[in-house]
Amino acid sequence: MDHLNPELRSENMRRIRAQDTKPEMTVRQVLFRLGLRYRLHAKELPGIPDIVFRKDKIAIFVHGCFWHQHSTCGAAKTPKSNVEYWQTKLGRNVLRDRKNEAKLKELGFRVLTVWECEARNEETLRAYLITKLKGLGKIGSLSRSD
């Protein structure tokens, strides 16, 4: 149990959140090679999204499978010791992610989460991002001539 108020606590969490992680770099590289330009770590937005397309109002989070508890992923298992501690801590992370996503949506953003395990293979990730961003209207066909 800590005694920080929610604002202070989320400030703390924000400060220790890892930036420029390997999966994040991979995502940035793939987007860059697709000819897309973006802003990084938009501090004024809820949860400080890793990558933002401001004009299109798209926010992308690149999440570690353990810390953010990727529900369909083997890497999300709770450690076997200090179970309660981890459940509380990780549960809090998940809740915070959900709140930030909801706040972003209220601001009119579409939110895309890329999991660490989805960023391991660059080719797969590229196909995934193209599909997602086409769905969001961010990119048209790849052979576009503009």
Binding site for Zn ion (CB under 5 A): 65, 70, 73, 115, 117
| Helix (H/G/I), strand (E/B), else coil: 58 | strand
Contact 119, 26 (CB under 8 A): yes
| CA contacts within 13 A on the Cβ side of 72 | 3
Q: How far is the CB of 23 from Zn ion (least distance, A)?
A: 10
Q: Which is nearer to Zn ion, 61 or 115 (CB)?
A: 115
Q: How far is the CB of 75 from Zn ion (least distance, A)?
A: 5
Q: Which is nearer to Zn ion, 71 or 81 (CB)?
A: 71
Q: How far is the CB of 72 from Zn ion (least distance, A)?
A: 7
Q: Which is nearer to Zn ion, 112 or 139 (CB)?
A: 112
Burial class (CB in 10 A: 0-12, 13-18, 19+), 35: exposed
